[in-house]
A and B are shown apart, each in its own frame.
Chain A
Amino acid sequence: SSGTNFKDEL
């Protein structure tokens, strides 16, 4: 999914 790496933000 496109969002996976993004959800490393808080």
Chain B
Amino acid sequence: MNAFRLAGDMTHLLSVVVLLLKIHTIKSCAGISLKTQELYALVFAARYLDLFIHFISLYNTVMKLVFLASSFSIVWYMRRHKIVRRTYDKDHDTFRHHFLVLPCLALALLINERFTFREVMWAFSIYLEAVAILPQLVLLQRTRNIDNLTGQYVFFLGAYRVLYILNWIYRYFTEPHFVHWISWVAGIVQTLLYADFFYYYIMSWKNNVKLELPA
């Protein structure tokens, strides 16, 4: 495992920790999109189907379990926890996320590495992950006061994607036959979705002003 991959996984983990900190400690999910969180739970469920069938490493298994457990518990907190769910900004989280699922599934049936259940589910999870941030970005645009933890959460998620691209470039030059169009194209699309957010996040940090996205 190269340094970019490890750093990518760690920023991904950090984003989850930041979000859990906000939800668990501050008991608030203000500014967090439940739609995006539901999509992530679906992404991990579809991608880690082989969790108990194909053992890769202890690191791999533990990380997968962490992402599965954290994504489902975040959804549970936002829907069921009696204090947290009251802080959910339902009126502004209106992205029709169900309409992302079917096209991703159709695309996975058409474009996959192999036409098997596991491979189609894997491709589906890659496509869905690429667009899962959209409801969150829309909600951020509609949020007047984006708190620091929410901004950091999205920043770490975006950083994870950038680091994964660097990891692929590294692996492409160091590992033979390392060509994976599906994840590369989807991963680049996913990263580009953050470009706008990154710009405003870095500007707010540089100018030391509160983060706000133009509508």
Residues of A within 8 A of B (CB): 1-3, 5-10
Which residue of B57, B63, B167, B180 contacts A3 across the interface (Cβ within 8 Å)? B180
Do B180 and A8 touch across chains, with their CB atoms under 8 A apart? no
Do A5 and B175 touch across chains, with their CB atoms under 8 A apart? yes
Do B179 and A2 touch across chains, with their CB atoms under 8 A apart? yes
What's the interface size class on B, roughly? Answer: 20 to 34
Given known A7-B122, A8-B60, A9-B164, contact A1–B178 (CB-CB < 8 A): no
Collect the chain A residues with CB atoms within 8 Å of residue B12's CB: 10
Interfacial residues of chain B within 42-72, with CB under 8 A of chain A in the complex? 50, 54, 56-57, 60, 63-64, 67
Interfacial residues of chain B within 159-195, with CB under 8 A of chain A in the complex? 164, 167, 175, 177-180, 183
A4 to chain B, nearest CB (A): 9
Per DSSP, chain A at the interface is loop
A1 to chain B, nearest CB (A): 6
Given known A8-B57, A9-B164, A10-B60, contact A2–B9 (CB-CB < 8 A): no
Do B5 and A1 touch across chains, with their CB atoms under 8 A apart? no
Given known A2-B113, A3-B119, contact A10–B9 (CB-CB < 8 A): yes
Collect the chain A residues with CB atoms within 8 Å of residue B54's CB: 7
Collect the chain A residues with CB atoms within 8 Å of residue B50's CB: 7
Do A6 and B64 touch across chains, with their CB atoms under 8 A apart? no
Of chain A, the residue at the smallest CB distance from B123 is A3
Do A3 and B113 touch across chains, with their CB atoms under 8 A apart? yes
